[in-house]
A and B are shown apart, each in its own frame.
Chain A
Amino acid sequence: MTDLIERFLAGERRALSRVLTRVENGTPAGREYLRRLYPRSGRAHTIGVTGSAGSGKSSLTGALAGELRARGHRVGVIAVDPSSPFTQGAILGDRIRMQDLILDEGVFVRSMASRGALGGLAPTIDDMVATMDAFGFPYVFIETVGAGQDEVEIAGTALTTVLVNNPGTGDDIQALKAGIIEIADVLVVNKADRPGADVLVSQLKALLSLAPSEGRDPPILSTVATTGEGVPALVDAIDEHRAWLDRSGELERHRRQEARHQVLSIAQRIVLERIRAATSGEALGELVAQVAGRALDPHTAAERLAGPSRPDEAV
């Protein structure tokens, strides 16, 4: 174990890959690796790229990574694709759009299956990002599952959230709805060589002008990921957002909020696991049968399952 961490710290890519697998799977070894690496994380600029399926997230991530390489930076990418809810299998195909980067030793692309997580990410995404961060990539991209309207978790995981839109995919009422657009730090109109791109930019501008400004309006940029058009300006906008985070004190607020969210959600999982471990299959089956038969409501059943709160265990 020590050996693998040493190789990781020496910058060996194979060691990174092995550590990532164990961290992803949450094995005891993975937890131990994360415990040791976590203090080294927190240096990377983490950038979420989200948007609907087919909007060009992978191509754009590849183009952004290419531009950052041209500027001399190393780049880590974590690309999430959905797991089947029925077989748990997955096809992870985001690498196809990043072919130009594959033989560049300054880039490391890891595909991840969502493994039942909702919100466009995967259960151990934050741990995976921290691992990439600890490896020393100054930029780590997180590409979400194709996300539609309210998959907003990425805004917690990443410091800068880039929302990818396309022309011709809905009227301005779609954009007016609550949800994903509210988490965008940078708005992108990708496939901007298609008809309707200018209209979409105007609609997004008009939409932003409806909201009271809280000091920073997300910039709107047009790109064509496949040709690289607009990509350098997008990198500038992403860097500018990071500079704003530092300047405004938002960085510290974001970090605290995300730390709180992570600790509480992990604690929630631990408590659930303890309840499961302490409950016999028959007892659970009995409660489930009563709820299914409408003899008991689910809230009462859950309270019985969780048991009375025990003051001696209170923190």
Chain B
Amino acid sequence: MTAAHETSSPGEDGQSIRVLIAKPGLDGHDRGAKIVARALRDGGCEVIYTGIRQTPQMIAEAALQEDVDVVGLSILSGAHLELFPRIVEELRSRGLDDVVLFCGGIIPEEDTEALETLGFKAIFRPGTNTRDIVSFVRTNVPTG
């Protein structure tokens, strides 16, 4: 059996989408992350929230142990181009290359391309309607 068949998507299982919401780096403002976590909860997802000041290894390890379908990163410190590549690398080194990635926070427009190249499927900036985030998750995780 190939790795693709081992993916346990909610479509296959008919169960909840599991999402990890994580805050990498040193900024301590997690209101945005909590609002997103709450919106996804209300959208029927099972949301694992790990709190602030997570290292790339901690985020990848939590994603592995929780077998999440989606990882959402919230960052306000400006260190996204430092931290996100390391997180993606930590995820890949653990074989988690099929996880849907999105991010949000203070992220300049000019960094969009770099993040898309890294594999981020969406960037949600201030002013985003949380319904758009829920609908992004529902669209990008196969359900049936």
**Chain A residues close to B by CB (< 8 Å):** 1-4, 13-14, 17-18, 20-22, 24-25, 27, 83-84, 87-93, 95-96, 99, 102-103, 108-111, 113, 115
Q: Which chain B residues (1-49) contact chain A, with CB distance < 8 Å?
A: 1, 6, 8, 12-16, 18, 37-38, 40-49
CB of B89 within 8 A of chain A? no
Chain A residues near B47: list those with CB within 8 A: 89-92
Chain A residues near B15: list those with CB within 8 A: 24-25
Closest Cβ neighbor of B43 among chain A residues: A89
CA distance A115 to B18 in the complex (A): 13
CB of B116 within 8 A of chain A? no
Q: Which of B6, B13, B41, B50 contacts A90 (CB 8 A)?
A: B41
Closest Cβ neighbor of A90 among chain B residues: B46
CA distance A99 to B65 in the complex (A): 13
CA distance A81 to B76 in the complex (A): 28
Inter-chain pairs besides A90-B16, A91-B47, A108-B65, 20 sampled, C-beta below 8 Å = A2-B1, A4-B1, A17-B65, A17-B66, A20-B67, A21-B8, A22-B13, A25-B14, A87-B42, A88-B44, A89-B45, A89-B46, A89-B47, A93-B49, A99-B51, A102-B58, A109-B65, A110-B66, A111-B66, A113-B46
Chain A residues near B46: list those with CB within 8 A: 83, 89-90, 92, 111, 113
Chain B residues near A111: list those with CB within 8 A: 46, 48, 66
CA distance A87 to B46 in the complex (A): 10
User: Which 6 residue pairs spanning A and B have beta carbons closest together?
Assistant: A89-B41, A25-B13, A96-B51, A21-B8, A17-B67, A25-B15
Q: Kindly provide the distance from the CB of A31 to the nearest chain B CB, expressed in whole angstroms.
A: 12
Closest Cβ neighbor of B17 among chain A residues: A89
Asked whether A3 lies within 8 Å of B1 as measured between CB atoms, the reply is yes
Asked whether B44 lies within 8 Å of A4 as measured between CB atoms, the reply is no
Chain B residues near A91: list those with CB within 8 A: 37-38, 41, 47, 49
Q: Kindly provide the distance from the CB of A80 to the nearest chain B CB, expressed in whole angstroms.
A: 11
**Chain B residues close to A by CB (< 8 Å):** 1, 6, 8, 12-16, 18, 37-38, 40-51, 57-58, 61-62, 64-67, 94-96
CA distance A17 to B94 in the complex (A): 12
Q: Which of A88, A90, A110 contacts B65 (CB 8 A)?
A: A110
Known contacts A88-B16, A113-B46; is-contact A102 B61 (Cβ 8 Å)? yes
CA distance A18 to B67 in the complex (A): 6
Asked whether B64 lies within 8 Å of A17 as measured between CB atoms, the reply is yes
Closest Cβ neighbor of B14 among chain A residues: A25
CA distance A13 to B63 in the complex (A): 12
Closest Cβ neighbor of B134 among chain A residues: A89
Known contacts A96-B49, A103-B58, A113-B46; is-contact A87 B12 (Cβ 8 Å)? no
Q: Kindly provide the distance from the CB of B74 to the nearest chain A CB, expressed in whole angstroms.
A: 15
Asked whether A89 lies within 8 Å of B67 as measured between CB atoms, the reply is no
Asked whether B41 lies within 8 Å of A84 as measured between CB atoms, the reply is yes
Known contacts A2-B1, A17-B67, A89-B45; is-contact A103 B51 (Cβ 8 Å)? no
Known contacts A18-B8, A25-B15, A110-B65; is-contact A95 B48 (Cβ 8 Å)? yes
Q: Which of A1, A88, A96, A103 contacts B50 (CB 8 A)?
A: A96
Asked whether A13 lies within 8 Å of B49 as measured between CB atoms, the reply is no
Asked whether A87 lies within 8 Å of B44 as measured between CB atoms, the reply is yes
